[in-house]
Amino acid sequence: MALIPSAGIERGALRILAARALRAFCDGFVAILLPAYLLALGHGTLEVGLLSSATLLGSALATLGVGAVGNRLGHRVLLLGAAILMAATGFGFAASESFWLLLVIAFVGTINPSSGDVSVFSPLEQAALAGMATDHARTALFARYSLAGSVFGAVGALAAGLPERLHLAVGMTPLGVMRIMFLFYGAAGVFVWWLYRALPRPPERAAEARQASLGASRSIVLKLAGLFSIDAFAGGLIVNSLLALWLFKRFGLSLSDAGAFFFCSSVLAALSYLAAVPLARRFGLLNTMVFTHIPSSVCLILAALAPGQAWAIALLLLRSALSQMDVPTRTAYVMGVVTPAERPAAASFTSVPRSLAAAASPALAGAMIAGGALSAPLLACGALKILYDLVLLAAFRKVDLR
């Protein structure tokens, strides 16, 4: 399957997919290294949760700002600014040891502790891509966008084992290697800036178009945003950084083993993105979202209760094969129930509640793990996600796409 289908999609979308792939590679190793890095600096389990919450909260506020000014400044300008912020974040993490300084950098920066893209980049890229595809090709384009993130995130997860490998091979300290990897994250931000710089400048639009916000679709978007926040709060309980921490604490996994697990998990998620397209054509966007998501949540609950490492890993991998089919379909669904003029605002206003809700839960999960309730975050996440799916199906099964 071609990365960019020839029919219905502009070639300029390739630059956004390339930027997404590079960012995902960095996110793949950062999410796993983050808890190990903080522990190596002498910080504790609770601090891992607090820092994860800070980065998600900062991303939510930045996304809210994007929703307010996105139509006036344009996607290209804001993406360039976000890339500069990514570079500063990587360099700042590499140079800092103080938890409070790291907390500030996490809040204002682009560190992503989760498997999905929760940064300010996401709504900007989604809104830009929505205008680069015809209606029939949009779901396929978003699937490839998600696929690029998942595949390169998987490779990035494997790179998380470099600190241990280089320590054994050449004697470098794991902490020193982790600092170098954060420097690489910063350098990647510079390259992402170059990719965005080559995007075509948007044409001048009328003042009323530049100021377009939510109109006729406001009530639908607000309902979706509220439901998505439940899903995001649940997902925040097991962002990759915390799931890695759970694996470290529960089974004593090494960085290399954790990287291998997240590699396999991301590959399975990538395959699920591809499967989402034909399933959505056959059964519809909403049905694909719900009826693949519920079994994945059941697998998560069973993994939390599993008697040993092998069963837990197998169930988590099965969950990965199912849980991400709702990502491209959810994005396409949101873009499909609003008018073209409302898409940037809809992308932002559905992303902000997700990020705000997700920001609250990592600190709670960190406190649970620190208090000895290791599996409580997984159980709570699975139960809340099942509730979300059932309510979403009941509320939107009769809503037609535009």
Instruction: Judge whether residue 295 has pLDDT over 90.
Output: yes
For residue 314, being part of any structural domain is answered with yes
Q: Three-state SS across 9-43?
A: ECCCHHHHHHHHHHHHHHHHHHHHHHHHHHHHCCC
Q: Which domain holds residue 372?
A: 14-199+215-396
- The reply to whether 241 falls in a domain is yes
**pLDDT confidence bin for 136, thresholds 50/70/90:** low
Residue 362 lies in a domain: yes
pLDDT for 390 beyond 90: yes
Element (DSSP H or E) covering residue 356: helix 343-370
pTM for the model: 0.74
Q: pLDDT confidence of 294, banded at 50, 70, 90?
A: very high
Q: Looking up tokens 């903080």, which residue turns up?
A: 38
Contacts of 393 (CB under 8 A, 6+ apart): 286, 287, 290
Task: Name the residue among 372, 16, 332 with its Cα closest to residue 192.
Answer: 16
Tell me the three state secondary structure of residue 314: helix
Inside any domain, residue 248: yes
Q: Residue 397: is it exposed, middle or buried by C-beta count within 10 angstroms (0-12/13-18/19+)?
A: exposed
29: CATH? 1.20.1250.20
**pLDDT at residue 318 greater than cutoff 90:** yes
Greater pLDDT, 181 or 207: 181
What's the DSSP call for residue 340? G
Establish if 97 belongs to a structural domain.
Answer: yes
Per the prediction, the chain carries an average pLDDT of 82
Exposed, middle or buried, 163 (CB in 10 Å: 0-12/13-18/19+)? buried
Please list, in sequence order, all residues whose beta carbon lies within 8 angstroms of the beta carbon of residue 176, skipping any fewer than 6 positions away. Answer: none
Residue 28: is its pLDDT beyond 50? yes
- Count: domains in the chain: 1
- Asked whether residue 4 is domain-assigned, the answer is no
| Inside any domain, residue 207 | no
The pLDDT score that the predictor gives to residue 8 is 54
Average pLDDT score over residue span 53-73: 73
Q: How many CA atoms lie within 13 A of 369 on its CB side?
A: 29
Question: Is 402 within a domain?
Answer: no
Identify whether the C-beta of residue 56 lies closer than 8 Å to the C-beta of residue 359. Answer: yes
pLDDT digits (tens, 9 = 90+) for 99-114: 999 999 989 888 888 7
